[in-house]
Structure 1
Amino acid sequence: QAFFCLLLCIPWGSSCPRSCQCTEWGWAGAKAVLCSSQHLQEIPKDIPRDAVLLRLDANSITRIPSNAFRHLSRLQEMHLSSNAIKRIDRAAFRGVAAGLRSLDLSGNRIRSIPKEALLALKAKLRLAHNPWHCGCTLQEVLGEARLDPGSVRDITCHTAPRHEYAGKPLLQALDSGANFCRVPQRSMDVAMLLTVSGWFAMLAAYVTCCVRHNRERPRG
């Protein structure tokens, strides 16, 4: 019974991840969790539930898995810049979408990201200095998400469907008339031509087979 009472008295929500520093922040009960430059390779699993500020910048994190922050409903500001993030799951920010005000993903290795992961967020996003592939998904994110105005111009196309846009800022490409969500008409024409040609080839093969069958059939 004494052991059970001891368990009830332990402040589970106030634990602090190893290699991190947890301090009071803003108002009573709120915490800042500071884990910058700690050589972390993944998101810590024991981040306090009362965290409102989370700094995970300048580490070696490569992926943000689904539900990584689901228990952090009070989180308002999160820094994930200067990591090695390549993959962000669709449900990576589930649980923090309503309260998060600022999310920094700049300076990583992100080429693409599921739009579902970002469009549910109300936070201001920093996405600069990543090797982006400028395609339809990134264009939709740029048009619908809340991007930090000071970092938008530093979102650069590392690769793109058309070579002339590679190495250029995404805004510059869009201002010049690029539309990564529209299939080029020439590609559609070629696809239609190949489809029609395929049908004609099948029809010709069928007719040839019928003619040959009729010739080989014994006559009464």
Structure 2
Amino acid sequence: MKGDLLLVSSIIVLMHMVFGCPEKCLCHQTSKTVDCRNQGLVEIPSHIPPETLILQLQNNHIWRINQNAFSETPLLKILDLSNNSVSNLSSGVFQGLRYLQVLNLTKNLIYYLENKTFSSLPQLKELDLSSNSILNLPETLGNNTGNITLLSVKYNKLQRLDRILLESLPNLKVVLFKNNPWECTCHVIGLKLWLESFLYRGGISDGIICSTPENRKGKDLLKVPYEMYGTCPPTAAQVHLANIHHHSSEHRSSLKHTHHNENGESSHSDCEPKPKPRPVSLRHAIATVVITGVVCGIVCLMMLAAAVYGCAYAAITAKYHREHLAPVTELGSPEEKEPFDSSLA
């Protein structure tokens, strides 16, 4: 009996050595998945098979990720680190994961991210940072993160989010903001403009609910009218949006300021005042069109009334001349001729 147990144990050890499956983990060769869930791990296990495509590390106690933790798994496509104790991510922890597409970091203790944390993940499409303690996000998530289509920052401690970060993700299709203490003061105008444009293009979002100031608490950012920010100074985001909307008109305007010299060379006048970009509001534009239409209508009615009045006055004057002045002229003609005839006699 002891000999049989020893044989089985030897076979298990041999299999681990051949396939390189970490202790406490299950390795599925067909799906190339390594399952290390619920094992009380405190760090990334070693001896993970290099052909692994899916690595499941959720529901452990991992609190630190070493720089070369994934150097042996360059083919990883899905990495799940949810429900651990990770608090810090240095810029090189995901080095070498060139094919990673899904990264799940939900339910950790992350409070800070460097702007190059995800630079080594050029194929990353889904990034879930929900349920952490993130206070601020950098202006970019990395130099090669343009393929991200889903970004979730739900259940964090974010009060604001720089629009530059969102604009650095041109392929973004879904962005989730729920349950953050969003501060809806002047700085949020850029985010509001971006979100309106994002939804207009068909993007999906759960919206931004204001926490402060008190008079906007609980309100959807998209439903807070721009008039509420009337005292805010113009922001770079507003100017940027205005430049986008007015690009073609500014280009035509610049052509008007171009003149040709005697040699046929063209030059631009530097003395011409350039139009100042102004923020665009669809509601204001519609109101302007309606008001302009009403004013034009009133002016047209006034002109029509004046024309009718002029025609009526001319008709009455002509009728008066025919009825009153013509008979007097006919009666007065013989009397005027009578002295002339007598003088001839």
Q: Which of 157, 168, 182 is the aligned partner of 1:120?
A: 168
Q: Which of 183, 187, 190 is the aligned partner of 1:137?
A: 190
Alignment match, 2:93? 46
Shift of 1:52: 0.8
Shift of 1:114: 1.5
**Correspondences of 1:89-128 after superposition (within 5 Å):** 89-97=138-146, 99-121=147-169, 122-123=171-172, 124-128=174-178
**Correspondences of 1:1-220 after superposition (within 5 Å):** 18-19=43-44, 24=53, 29-43=75-89, 45-47=92-94, 48-97=97-146, 99-121=147-169, 122-123=171-172, 124-134=174-184, 135-145=188-198, 149=204, 151-152=206-207, 155-160=208-213, 163-173=214-224, 177-179=225-227, 182-183=230-231
TM-score (norm 1): 0.62
SS in 2 for 1:87: coil
CA distance in 2, matches of 1:159, 1:54: 32
Task: Judge conservation of contact 1:139–1:181 (CA < 8 Å) in 2.
Answer: no
Shift of 1:148: 5.6
Amino acid paired to 1:86: L
Q: Which has the higher contact order (CA 8 A, sep 6+)?
A: 1
Amino acid paired to 2:204: P
Taking only aligned residues, the RMSD between alpha carbons, in angstroms, comes to 3.0
SS in 1 for 2:190: helix
SS in 1 for 2:211: strand
Unmatched 5+ residue regions in structure 1? 1-16, 186-220
Percent sequence identity is 22
SS in 2 for 1:88: coil
From the superposition, tell whether residues 54 and 129 of structure 1 become closer, same or farther in structure 2 (CA, over 3 Å): same
CA distance in 1, matches of 2:45, 2:176: 23
From the superposition, tell whether residues 130 and 20 of structure 1 become closer, same or farther in structure 2 (CA, over 3 Å): farther
TM-score (norm 2): 0.41
Deviates more, 1:140-149 or 1:64-73: 140-149
From the superposition, tell whether residues 150 and 112 of structure 1 become closer, same or farther in structure 2 (CA, over 3 Å): closer
CA distance in 1, matches of 2:98, 2:215: 47
Task: Judge conservation of contact 2:84–2:108 (CA < 8 Å) in 1.
Answer: yes
Count of aligned pairs: 159
Amino acid paired to 1:151: D
Unmatched 5+ residue regions in structure 2? 1-41, 55-74, 234-345
From the superposition, tell whether residues 92 and 59 of structure 1 become closer, same or farther in structure 2 (CA, over 3 Å): same
Amino acid paired to 2:118: F
Task: Judge conservation of contact 1:81–1:107 (CA < 8 Å) in 2.
Answer: yes
SS in 2 for 1:164: helix
Task: Judge conservation of contact 1:20–1:35 (CA < 8 Å) in 2.
Answer: no
Task: Judge conservation of contact 1:85–1:109 (CA < 8 Å) in 2.
Answer: yes
Amino acid paired to 1:94: N
Shift of 1:94: 3.0
CA distance in 1, matches of 2:156, 2:138: 15
Amino acid paired to 1:46: V
Amino acid paired to 2:144: G
Spell out, residue by residue over 1:159-182, the C-alpha distance to the aligned partner (whole angstroms, 9 max, x if none).
14xx42122222332xxx344654
CA distance in 2, matches of 1:184, 1:71: 39
Shift of 1:36: 0.6
From the superposition, tell whether residues 75 and 140 of structure 1 become closer, same or farther in structure 2 (CA, over 3 Å): same
